[in-house]
Amino acid sequence: MEKLKKETQLIKEVRGKGLLNAIEINDSPESSTAWDICVKLKENGLLAKPTHGNIIRFAPPLVMTKEQLLDCAGIIRKTILDFVSED
């Protein structure tokens, strides 16, 4: 997530440790940006929850393989970068 943060100004902050983390979107809490990104994540095969307006929380299963983890990270990266390029 920290690497992705360096690739786009859309991510303001990465929070959490390990698999339980969140990203703060560089937009106001009143905006729909985090929600819109969560909808795109769902369309790409990953569920995430927007919280506090501009924060997206990730809470993956407690048991997952490295391959599944890398797939999830890839979906997040692709979705965020595609979202930025749509603007």
Q: What confidence tens digit (pLDDT) does each residue in 26-63 have?
A: 999 999 999 999 999 999 999 999 999 999 999 888 89
Identify residue 31 by its one-letter amino acid code: S
Using pLDDT thresholds of 50, 70 and 90, give the confidence band for residue 87: low
Q: Which domains does the chain have, with CATH numbers?
A: 2-86 (3.90.1150.10)
List, in order, residues 6 or more apart from 55 with CB less than 8 Å away.
Answer: 15, 22, 23, 24, 25, 34
Can you give the pTM of this predicted structure?
0.91
Contact criterion met (CB below 8 Å) for 15 and 21: yes
Q: d(Cα 72, Cα 85) in Å, to the nearest integer?
A: 20
